[in-house]
Structure formats: structure tokens, C-alpha cells
Structure 1
Amino acid sequence: MTESFRNDDSVLRQRVAQVVQARRALGLQGLVGGLQTVIVAVEPERLKDAASDFLNTTGYTFGASLDFADGQGCVLHCPGSADFLFRTRSGGGWAFAQEPLGPKSAHLPGTRVETMVFACADVARFVEIQKRRGVRFLTTEPIRTDASLFIQTAPSKYSALSYGFVQWLGGGKRYVSSASRPGGWTLSKPEAAHLRNIGVFDHASVRVRAKDRDDAIVEFLELTDYEFSMAVYVDNLNSITNVARLAGEPYAMVITSGLGDAAAGQEGPTEKFIANYGRRIHHLAFRTENIEDTFAGLKAQGMEFLLELVGSQEEGLKQTFSRPSAQTLIVNEYIHRYEGFDGFFTKSNVTLLTEATAKQ
């Protein structure tokens, strides 16, 4: 490590306190709720394979196929959890097209977890306030359909993620609307007992550069009602895992970065991941019951893993990482928290999981 820059939680927490105060002063507090939908962009020729891969390795089921003016898609559901919308883009103008790739992602230039979409009680008011703050959106006004009002930010210069905000009209989620129509195809869900052990979407982890860590966290907090929860430092791997949570909601946002400037040859797994894949979501985590049986079942069906199960009932949780999907480049995490565990991660598990990412 060089001495030029190192992240410091005391600095971050001062900024976080200012964000919470500003949210109240601006009238943002209470406008944004829980995660509704995760939009995953995939190559046009891989849409069905990518969605099938997701169905084969999670507890999600097929909802509907969709045709949009600029591509196709499908929605996948899990009770009590955010939906996943896998979709393709045709033509030019994709907002993420200029985001640098790496040698291990260049063959899938149109593939990434692109947008995390949150519920919003009043999208018009939210946009008005955020525009005054200088937030850039992909459209000048919210997109209105008969099902929703929707808008999303331009890709973040810190995380390369977009954040979307949806106000459902007419009661409840509805993806078939005046802006889309049924696609006319479906996918089957495997009848496997171990897949029924895999439940709601627990968290996603986006990899950012060390110098962008504070800005990426603050940006997310400024756009949502989430609160900064914890940071786990793994000094020997030059890594910090940061968690933001919203009370009563199952989804947490995890932002992982380096500690600071690393000398050549001393880069940690996070810096190496960004060099190989570009800035993007590294993994999606799903709450898993009977995790030992589930792990064995996934292995038996051919899924490969970056490491064995780590953790124990005594420590409070067990976790593992799959190898990246060939269709989406996404790692699946399977996580079980035992009854009575009141944290989110343990440092020992974070260390082993972070170390395992070097294998991809």
C-alpha cells in the first residue's frame, strides 16, 4: 500500500449523517421504498439461456415474456422478493455502451446487471427534488404507461449502476402495459427439491474503485431511504465490504471496494475483478434453507463453485459463491443465517469469500 490514499470510516460517517439530515430537509424522507425489480441486460441471442440458467439455480419461477419497442424480455418471480427482468436491447443508444469492459467481459458487451428499481410513492415529486440536486436521468420526464410511472438515473460515474424508481398505478406490479406486450413464449422451471430451499433476493454486491467508495455509498443513500449499516475491512486483501439496509426490507445494497491506493503487484481481488470484468455487480445473493442439501443438489446438477461452504451455526451463518454464469457473468451467492444471528456478515466469511473471487 502507498500512503497517498486510504478510506476512513470516520469521514464516511460524517457524510452519511449529512445525507440523512438533507433527506429530511429536502422532503425526500419516506418517498423511496424497497427494491421492486432488478433489470439484467443480456445479449439478444442469449435471453432464453440466461433466464433458464437463473431458473435452474434459484428459487425463482417464470412470470411472463415481453416484447418491447427496443427488444425482448421476461420477468421471473419469487414470493416476497424483488422481481428480475431479463431483457435485450436492439439498436443504438444503450446508456451503458461506453462503460469500459475487461478481457473477461469483452465477449458479452451487452450483458450486465444494469438497473436496481425501487418503489417510489411520488415519482414526479422525487424527480423534481433530485433534479434540483443535479441528478441526471435518462429521460427528461418520468415515463408514463397505464401500469406505472418510471424513471432511471444515468449510469453512476462511481459504480456504473443505474437506479430506477417506479410508482405502480392501479394497484400492484404489472409489466405488461401500453409500453410492452406479451412475448408469447415461456420457460419451464425444474422440479428439483433443492431449488425450493432457495428463497428471496438478499443482496447484490457492486465492485467500485477504492477512491469512489465513499461517493458510491453516499450517492445510493441520497437516492433512497437506505441507511449505512456496516463496513468490514479485510486489510490483507485490500478490501472493504460496505452494507446499506432499509428497515423491514429483505434487500440490502453491498458496495465493495479496495482500502486505498495499491502498489503494482499488491492489488486485491476487487481491483483485479474490475481490471478483468469492468465495474459491475459481482454477485447476487439468495437466502437459502437447508444449505448443505442445497449445495449438494446444485453440485449434482453440474453447478461449479469458487469455494466450499464457509461458516457454521456457531458463527451464525453459512455461505458460498458459484462460479460466474457463462450467460451473464454473475456469481450466485447462497446464504443461510441461523436463528438468533443479529448481524449481516461475519469478518471470517467475508475474508474467505473475497479471497475466493481471485479464482474467477
Structure 2
Amino acid sequence: MTTETLDIKITKNTQSRLAQTDFSQLTFGHTFTDHMLVADYADGEWKNFEILPYGPIALSPAISSLHYGQAFFEGLKAYRHADGNVSVFRPDKNAARFNKSAERLCAPELPVDMFIQSIAALVDVERDWVPAADGYSLYIRPFMFATDPYLGVVPSNTYKFIVLTCPVGPYFTKPLRVKFETKYTRAAEGGFGFAKAAGNYAGSMLPSRKAVEEGFDQMIWTDSKEHQYAEELGAANVMFLIDGKLVTPSTRDTILDGVTRDTVIALAKDWGITVEERRVPITEIVEAARSGKLTDAFGAGTAATIAPIGAINYEGEELTLSDPASREFSNRLLNSLNDIRYGRAADTHSWNYMI
């Protein structure tokens, strides 16, 4: 769907927090920029697009998203190039996935160009907040939630769309120690594991906390029926280099169709590397680690970027992988991704949306 240029009202913050922000001490998701974008859905249309100072919003305590979970989000990033220009990485892919989440949760779709224009307008206002250091970026969080102020298990007729921005550094700062989770389930077939629904993350918090208490950084979720197939990490898709082939769980209704995952697959194919998207048995990964055929393993996500896995635990057996610093493939990926996103290399796939 194509729309005309959005009429976005802009109200500037008169007291910026930029000068008081220490960009060398950024805890991911804790520092917010001066403004946010807000829009409403009512009477069958999107309206009231506005950029205004970041701050609290007034809502009824009866809004349906608080009671019945009609809420979902996206995550993408803006990068500062060496020449000072700013780009957003692959916002069209995030827009498409945002609408897949909307459809599954019975919420209205936001036309792709409205999604992109909203993000571009906010990033333009906040361009001074985009960090310049390598590995740093402006994280963008668009989200939608139901706002009908009454109780009843029916889809809401009204919604609010908001975009927040945060300057961020690396999400993970060390190789990950992970375990295969074979008790708890993140998503079941026929559910909405493929959507970035708030409820997916709420349900993962208890097993994630238990894993951290056991000394792990992340879990590799497994299928809900047999707990015999790898699905994804808690914060990213998971990918393995086995016997020279890039192997990753195929997307299905239990697995998020990650933008970084798609980007990694495209780059691997550009480099002539065989890519296998399929169901991946735990036993295959364990045996490959034991035999030395598993030469690389990492998470791939917007927040995580390329997050190397240093050790995998299965039923108490600790499988230590090669030193991430020596891994050719994932380091090439990270360097290539950074070169494209920061404007240091040719963007042959047209992934950068210039602001």
C-alpha cells in the first residue's frame, strides 16, 4: 500500500539531555533520546502522527493490552557513517515482520511506507544522538498495543503506535555459554512464536532466569513436542558452521524470521558458502562439536548482531568450541556487516535507508 507523505506534527524538547549523556557508558535499552513518535488507530484509520518530548503517556487502566496481551514490537538500528550521514538498516524487512505480528494478533497493519516514514522522521530529529563509535548505534523500538478501555476478550478497535530510540553499545560483551533447554518451551506449533509478541518474552523470563542462575548466558530453545531440535536463542536466531556449511533452523511458526539472520544468509550465499535452512537435531550439533566439525556457532540478531557462542551444554556435558577470535566465518560476517552499515563498503543489496 502506498500513502502520501505523512503529516507529522513535531514538538521539540526545550531541554535536551544529549550533553549530559555519557556515550561511553551505555547500558543497552536504558538511555532514551529526547523525543518519541506517537500515532493512533481509530475509526479504521491511522492518524495523529506526532513527534513529541519523550515521557509518560496517560492511559486507562482497563486498556485491553494490559489484560489480554495485544502488544508487539520490532527492533532495528540507525548507524552513523564516516561522512556524518545516518542510515537505518533494512527498515522494509522490519515493517513486513511488524505487519505479520499485527495480523497474528488481530491488530491493524501499518502500511510499510508509514512505518518507514515514522522511523525516518524520528531518527532525523534525533540524528545527533546516533553514536559514531564502531559497534555503537541508535536502537529503534517501534511497538503497537491495544487501547480499548473495557474488559472483554475481543480484538480492540483502537491502538497506539509508538517509536522510541536509544543510543546503544554492544549487547553482549563476551562469548556466550549456552545450554539446550529441554524442559521449558518458548513457542508451540500453531502459536505465535514467529511474531514479536510481548507475551513470548514474558513466558521466557522464568527459564531464562533459571539458566542464568546455573551460569549460562543464553538458552537454545528446542521444539515443544520432542525437545530434540534446535530453534533459536533467547535474544537471537542461532547459526552453526558444520563441515563448511552454514546450518540454521528453518523459519516456521515457532521461530522468528530474523532480519540479521536473513542478512547473514544473503552474505554467505554471496561468498559461495552452502546454506542449509532446515530442522537441526540437537544430536547433530553435539556430534559435530565432539568431532570438531562444528567450527563456528553464533547468535544473529539486531541487538546481538553476531554473538559468538563459546560453549554449549547438553544434559550436563560441556562442549567447548574454538576461540571466537580465531573463527574466520563469523569474524568476516561481523566485519562485513559493520562495513556496510557504517558506510565503509559498497551497499550492493541496498540495505541502508539513508535519512
- Establish whether TM, by shorter chain, passes 0.5: no
TM bucket (normalised to shorter chain) is under 0.3
TM-score of the two chains, using structure 2 as the length reference: 0.26
TM-score of the two chains, using structure 1 as the length reference: 0.25
Pair member with larger Rg: 2
